[in-house]
Copies of this chain bind each other. A is one copy, B any other.
Amino acid sequence: MKRILLFLLLISQLAVADDGYRLWLKYDLIKDMPKREAYARSAQFIAVTGTSPMLKSAADELQMGLQGLLGKSVPIIANATSRTGGIVLSVANGPAAGSQILMADGYRLTSRRAGNLTISGKTNAGVLYGVFALLRQVQTGQSIDNLAVTSNPKIQYRLLNHWDNTNGTIERGYAGESLWKWYELPETVDPRYRDYARANASLGINGTVVNNVNASARFLTDEYIQKVAALANVFRAYGIRIYLSVYFPAPKTLGSLTPNGLKTADPLDPAVRKWWAEKTKDIYKAIPDFGGFLVKANSEGEPGPQDYGRTHADGANMLAEALKPYDGIVLWRAFVYKSDPKSDRFKAAYEEFTPLDGTFDKKVIIQVKNGPIDFQPREPYSPLFGNMPKTPLAMEFQITQEYLGFATHWVYEAPLFKECLDTDTHVKDKGTGSTVANVIDGSLHQYAMTAIAGVANTGSDRNWTGNPMAQANWYAYGRLAWDHTLTSEGIAREWVNMTLTSEPKAVKTITDLMLRSRNIYVSYNTPLGLSRPWAGVHFAPEPWQEKSPRPDWTAIYYHRADSIGLGFDRTATGSNALAQYRPEVQKIWQNPDTCPLPYLLWFHHVPWTKKLATGRTLWDELCTHFYTGADSVGWMQQQWAQVKPAIDPQIFADVTGRLATQHNEAIWWRDSWVLYLQTYSKQPIPAPFQKPDRTLEDVKRLSEIYKLR
């Protein structure tokens, strides 16, 4: 009977194609029977003391996971006093494990032969994270004997930011509509909300901003607070707190609909402050564990305190005051730039924010995009990092692939995140830990609060992220938010094992593809420090785009191609944005001969004929990148084809299709760039590359067609 059951479970798993819904929490039956039985001997029961919703989530997840992985039902019991061979969940420091101290949210896994396996945390959340860590251990086929693991998160607030609108659209979303069905809430609660929370909790993500930073005032109406509260009620049992993006002039906007409503949103106006205090009180009444506010103000046309002659600090501190009675924070975004055709947008955030260092309330964190411009495929780190010692800075990464090929191009982002986190800002002497990661984890400036945010790539698509491979970016972001010292390769291997296959050769092939994917994308898209060759939709190549309401919304603003060369001079002879970095950084980047090639055109206008360190001229080097980049997608296709036997057929076909599209589009990018830049460089395509079989007019027409209704 038992064998039949297992057989049938296997059959049913084989029969149902994998639609990707389960993400990395698949819990498929372990096929290696001795291994499965070894795990089962240590998992004869789950003992949990306490009845908090989060502990219940933890026990339920563990039970469900083991049911799938081991093919047996593991009972949950209240007390394990006299029993061994089971798993004990415990809110306590737990048995010592080396010298590491258990911190809030941290977990400890300990197991000894002939005893129980203990999952302990100082908090309920810690236990929950420990459960997912243990499941991950089993999912990746590692032993759970003699465990002595302590893991604490390096960052306190680990958030997702959803740029989701009330009408269900997602700004820069490529995987369907918003997960949040605002129209149906609060009465109808989609079961999917719980699975979203489970996935995040499995990574240690503990907060989510559910609405777009270009926010609607509707989120501050009683109606929407009830809707948001219904989501919070689901997320709470998974340790996830809800935050709201706020529309800064909301008091005025909503006031205009009431007879005696406010006519201003001036942050220093007492009536406005009172409005926010009362609104915040209403929110906490509905959502006692509300996380706080995220604000985009005086940025890209969004209103803000400067409309009233006030500063970012005036605005942020007003909201901090409203949050004072509660355990909530203000996340104020540094993504700002003025409409000044002469200025270098690169410099704007530093110029606006560093003078305010030390003037923010202690409940305020400034949220800074990883680079100075806007989530380009490769950017130098933002010079704000290291230059606001008195103000906690949060990192804002973009998981959704706005500039990385939407849901089609396969770009594993961990290397992008790590490249930024691991860069040395040289704020202190070498060797004392001045990386960007050390800034945001608080170790460099002893910040009292630390935070990291990822702009989510999730949507209503069945598999959450459109491209099945993009699930890895959500995963990698979450894992790095917990521990930025993890390696891109380690995270990739872990994810592949949990999500796609445990066949060693396939794991190696896919991990290798993932690790190379970002550089391949950069090669055909924006090599050598090029950036922003896009028009409005951020999709089709338009390096020629020169008309826009703002100069810094054109493509030519960024690459500055002319008859002499290419690139944006940001040295002292140009915009001098380089001066915002520490001298040690300037020293290397200011010289085109020592500036790393990936950043070259970010800082220098380089002659077409200049010989680079590779021995090629700039023009030849560019062509080499464009051509080998596009060719490498062909290589990706070949590599992917080889893993077919190890992958679910539906997932395999899906990725195969997307790679074919990516290949076509990579060639489109290549042809667009070389045909356009050739009008300036006046040089031939170097051998062995073939010149494109279409004209510049042809590729221009393709992007015009994309702009038709």
Q: Which residues of A contact B (CB under 8 A)?
A: 1, 4-5, 8, 12, 17, 19, 165-166, 168-169, 176-177, 183-184, 187-189, 191, 214, 216-218, 221, 223, 247, 253-254, 257-259, 406-408, 460-462, 650, 653-654, 656-658, 660-661, 664, 697, 701, 704-706, 708-709
- 11 A-B interface contacts by CB (under 8 A): A5-B8, A187-B656, A188-B657, A188-B661, A189-B653, A214-B709, A218-B705, A218-B709, A259-B697, A460-B461, A462-B462
Besides A8-B8, A187-B657, A247-B709, 10 new A-B residue pairs in contact (Cβ under 8 A), listed by A number:
A1-B4, A176-B460, A183-B408, A187-B658, A188-B660, A188-B661, A189-B653, A217-B709, A223-B705, A254-B705
Would B8 and A704 count as touching, CB distance under 8 A? no
A662 CB, min distance to chain B CBs, angstroms: 9
By beta carbon, the residue of chain B nearest A17 is B191
Given the interface contacts A4-B1, A701-B257, does A661 sit within 8 Å of B708 by beta carbon?
Answer: no
Q: How far is the CA of A217 from the CA of B707 in the complex (A)?
A: 11
With A17-B191, A462-B462 already in contact, the answer to whether A221 and B705 are too (CB < 8 A) is yes
> How far apart sit A31 and B626, CA to CA, in the bound complex (Å)?
63
Query: Chain B contacts of A460 at CB under 8 A?
Result: 176-177, 460-461
Which B residues lie within 8 Å of A664 (CB)?
187
A216 touches B8 (CB 8 A): no
Majority secondary structure, A binding face: loop
CA distance A19 to B195 in the complex (A): 14
Given A257-B705, A460-B177, A461-B460: A408 and B191 within 8 A (CB)? Answer: no
Q: In the bound complex, what is the Cα–Cα distance between A658 and B190 (angstroms)?
A: 11
A188 touches B257 (CB 8 A): no
The answer for the CA separation of A8 and B708 in the assembled complex, in Å, is 54
Interface residue from B187, B218, B661 paired with A660 (Cβ < 8 Å): B187
The 8 A-B residue pairs with the shortest CB-CB distance in the complex, in nearest-first order? A188-B657, A187-B657, A187-B660, A187-B661, A216-B709, A257-B701, A257-B704, A218-B708
CA distance A206 to B709 in the complex (A): 28
Q: How far is the CB of A437 from chain B (nearest CB, A)?
A: 35
Given A218-B708, A253-B708, A701-B257: A184 touches B658 (CB 8 Å cut-off): yes
Q: How far is the CB of A395 from chain B (nearest CB, A)?
A: 28
Measured between beta carbons, the chain B residues less than 8 angstroms from A4 are 1, 4
Knowing A176-B460, A460-B176, say if A217 contacts B708 (CB, 8 Å).
Answer: yes
- Taking CB as reference atom, which chain B residue is nearest A214? B709
Q: Which B residues lie within 8 Å of A254 (CB)?
A: 705
Q: A184–B661 contact, CB under 8 A?
A: yes
A203 to chain B, nearest CB (A): 24
Q: Is the CB of B650 within 8 A of A191?
A: yes
- Min CB distance, A464 to chain B, in Å? 12
Instruction: Give chain B residues whose Cβ lies under 8 Å from the Cβ of A258.
Output: 701
Residues of B within 8 A of A168 (CB): 176
A188 to chain B, nearest CB (A): 3
Residue on B nearest A223 in the bound complex, by CB: B705
* Interchain nearest-CB distance for A550 vs B (Å): 21
| Contact residues in B for A658 (Cβ distance below 8 Å) | 184, 187-188
Please report the C-alpha to C-alpha distance between residue A216 and residue B708 in the assembled complex, in whole angstroms. Answer: 7
A299 → chain B closest CB, angstroms: 16
CA A501 to CA B418, docked complex, whole Å: 54
A406: chain B residues at CB < 8 Å are: 183
Bound: A591/B187 CA distance, A:
45
- Report the minimum CB–CB distance from A510 to chain B (whole Å): 18
Which of A12, A183, A254, A258 has its CB near the most chain B CB atoms (within 10 A)? A183
Residues from chain B with Cβ under 8 Å of A253 in the complex: 708
* Cα of A218 to Cα of B214 in the assembled complex, Å: 30
A189 — which chain B residues lie within 8 A by C-beta?
653, 657
In whole angstroms, how far apart are the Cα atoms of A408 and B664 in the complex? 42
State A104–B177 Cα separation when bound (angstroms): 41
User: Which residues does chain B contribute within 8 Å of A656, judged by CB atoms?
Assistant: 187
The CA of A530 and the CA of B78, in the complex, are separated in Å by 63
In the complex, which residues of chain B have a beta carbon less than 8 angstroms from the beta carbon of A187?
656-658, 660-661, 664
Q: Which residue of B lies closest to A539 (CB)?
A: B183
CB distance from A258 to the nearest CB of B (A): 7
8 Å CB contact of A177 from B5, B177, B221, B653: B177
Contacts of A19 in B (CB 8 A): 191
A271 to B165, CA, bound (A): 46
Q: Which of B1, B408, B697 contacts A184 (CB 8 A)?
A: B408
- A169, closest chain B residue (CB): B169
Residues of B within 8 A of A701 (CB): 257-258
Residues of B within 8 A of A650 (CB): 191
Q: Which residues of B contact A247 (CB under 8 A)?
A: 709
Q: Which residues of B contact A653 (CB under 8 A)?
A: 188-189
Find the B residue at minimum CB distance from A12.
B12
Bound-complex Cα distance A12 to B701 (A): 54
Report the Cα distance A253→B705, complex, angstroms.
10
Cβ distance A462 to chain B, nearest Cβ, rounded Å: 7
**Which residue of chain B has the shortest Cβ distance to A706 in the bound complex?**
B218
Candidate in A165, A177, A664 with the most chain B CB atoms within 10 angstroms: A177
- Structural contact, B218 and A657, CB atoms closer than 8 A: no
- Min Cβ gap A230→B in Å is 10
A187 to B706, CA, bound (A): 18
Q: Nearest Cβ distance between residue A56 and chain B, in whole angstroms?
A: 19
Write out the residue numbers on chain B whose beta carbons fall within 8 Å of the beta carbon of A654: 188
- A213 vs B658: C-alpha distance when bound (angstroms): 29
Give Cα A8 to B12, complex, Å. Answer: 11
Q: How far is the CA of A654 from the CA of B460 in the complex (A)?
A: 17
Q: Which residue of B lies closest to A174 (CB)?
A: B183
How many Å from the CB of A195 to the closest CB on chain B?
A: 12
Alpha-carbon distance between A221 and B697 when the two chains are bound, in angstroms: 16
User: How far is the CB of A221 from the nearest CB of chain B, in Å?
Assistant: 6
Q: How many whole Å from A185's CB to the nearest CB in chain B?
A: 9
Complex: chain B residue closest to A660, CB-CB: B187
**Complex Cα spacing A169 to B176, Å:** 9
Closest to A253 in B: B708
A657, closest chain B residue (CB): B188
Question: What's the Cα separation between A460 and B697 when bound, in Å?
Answer: 37
- CB neighbours of A12 from chain B (8 A): 12
Of all chain B residues, the one with the shortest Cβ separation from A221 is B705
Contacts of A407 in B (CB 8 A): 183-184
Smallest CB gap from A709: residue in B: B216
A708: chain B residues within 8 A (beta carbon):
216-218, 253
Residues on B with C-beta less than 8 A from A188 are: 653-654, 657-658, 660-661
